[in-house]
Amino acid sequence: MKTIITLIVVLVVAGAGYLIWDNQRTKDLAVEASPTVSPSPTASPEGTPTAAASPTKTPSPTATPQNAIVTYTDSGFSPKVTTIKTGATVTFRNQSSGMFWPASGPHPAHTAYDGTSLSLHCTNKTATTFDACVGIAASQTYSFKFTKIGTWNYHDHLHSSLTGSVIVQ
């Protein structure tokens, strides 16, 4: 009798775990299908880790610049090159098995976007610093609003060979 109860408990726990996993996987697939998002009135300050919001398409071409999502997996960033308009926000979404740390190039200085080094801008973080300054956990995001025109190379500070670029027009 004790064995039957234990077996039932194990099956219930396994079933619940599968339902939670499948629900999260379905949400992840829905977000990947919509690579651009409109600004959210409840968005967090630029440059801070946040939970991913549900994207919605911008209703008209005269609206504010469209934002973009870059997905990070164990293989690297996708897409590797993202083109946006000035004032748009890029959200880096961690779908890897571990942490990642998106930061302006070059590694390890992180000086390209704002001209200050990692040791300076991470101790006095501002919205103008394209550097998460910390590892971002799996399923979390880091967002940054690009206000400078140019091509901005970036990398994962924890795995510096994984790189990408944001082209701001």
Q: What is the CATH number of the domain that holds 69?
A: 2.60.40.420
Q: Phi first, then psi: what are they for 107, rounded to 5°?
A: -80, 140
Do the Cβ atoms of 118 and 103 come closer than 8 Å? yes
| Predicted local distance difference test score (pLDDT) of residue 3 | 80
| Predicted local distance difference test score (pLDDT) of residue 152 | 96
| Predicted local distance difference test score (pLDDT) of residue 132 | 92
| Predicted local distance difference test score (pLDDT) of residue 164 | 96
pTM for the structure as a whole:
0.62
| Predicted local distance difference test score (pLDDT) of residue 116 | 82
| Predicted local distance difference test score (pLDDT) of residue 143 | 95
Query: Does 157 share its domain with 75?
Result: yes
Query: Does 53 share its domain with 29?
Result: no
| Predicted local distance difference test score (pLDDT) of residue 5 | 75
Query: Does 42 share its domain with 8?
Result: no
**Mean pLDDT for each consecutive 10-residue tract of the chain (169 residues)?**
71 57 46 36 42 43 74 96 95 96 92 84 78 94 95 96 96
Query: Does 96 share its domain with 148?
Result: yes
| Predicted local distance difference test score (pLDDT) of residue 122 | 84
Query: Does 28 share its domain with 43?
Result: no
| Predicted local distance difference test score (pLDDT) of residue 53 | 42
Q: Spell 66-97 as b/e; 16+ CB within 10 A means b.
A: bbbbbbbeeebbbeeebebeeebbbbbbbbbe
**Close Cβ partners of 109 (under 8 Å, ≥ 6 residues apart):** 117, 118
Tokens 């979404």 sit at which residue?
A: 93
Q: From CA 42, how far away is CA 3, in angstroms rounded?
A: 50
Considering its fold, how many domains does the chain have in total?
A: 2
Residue 23 is part of which domain span? Answer: 1-33
What is the number of other CB atoms lying within 10 angstroms of the CB of residue 127?
12
Q: Which two tokens stand for residue 34?
A: 């919509």
Query: Does 28 share its domain with 78?
Result: no
Tokens 């926000």 sit at which residue?
A: 89
